[in-house]
Amino acid sequence: MSRRLSVVLLLVLLPLWLAASYGARYGFMEDAQWVGLCVDEASRWECAVRSNLGLMIHFNMLGWAAIAAAVLGFVLPGQTGWWLAVLALVFGFPALALYNTTLAVFAVVIAGLRLVRASRSA
């Protein structure tokens, strides 16, 4: 896959991923219907997913994963670093939408800097 096609694909898919993350936040985590349903029937699988997502938010797991991938992507050369930066954005965008903004902001900036960095061979 050419570099230009990768960048275009990334610019199309990442906003969709961010929209899906906000959909999960407002449609699943904050919706009064799900809050009431999970209070009454906590054993449902949807409520277990919601609970685990809440724990991931509480412990900043998405933010830490994004920071780790961004830093590794920034220091590793070549395609490996580029793909780790993409992975950092994949973790960072939901972290931005799901209340882990402190870590996610730095991860998204570091990953973005890695993605726009010129290769050494150019």
| Domain boundaries defined on the chain | 3-116
Task: Note the pLDDT of residue 6.
Answer: 83
How many other CB atoms are there within 10 angstroms of residue 35's CB atom?
Answer: 13
pLDDT (0 to 100) of residue 42:
84
Region of 24 (left: φ > 0; alpha: ψ -120 to 50; beta: rest) is: alpha
* Residues 114 and 71 sit within 8 Å (Cβ to Cβ): no
CB neighbours (10 Å) of residue 94? 25
The CA-based diameter of the chain, rounded to the nearest angstrom, is: 60
What are the pLDDT tens digits along the chain (122 aa)? 677 888 889 889 999 999 999 999 999 888 888 888 888 888 899 899 999 999 999 999 999 999 999 999 999 988 899 999 999 999 999 999 998 899 999 999 999 999 988 766 54
pLDDT of residue 20: 94
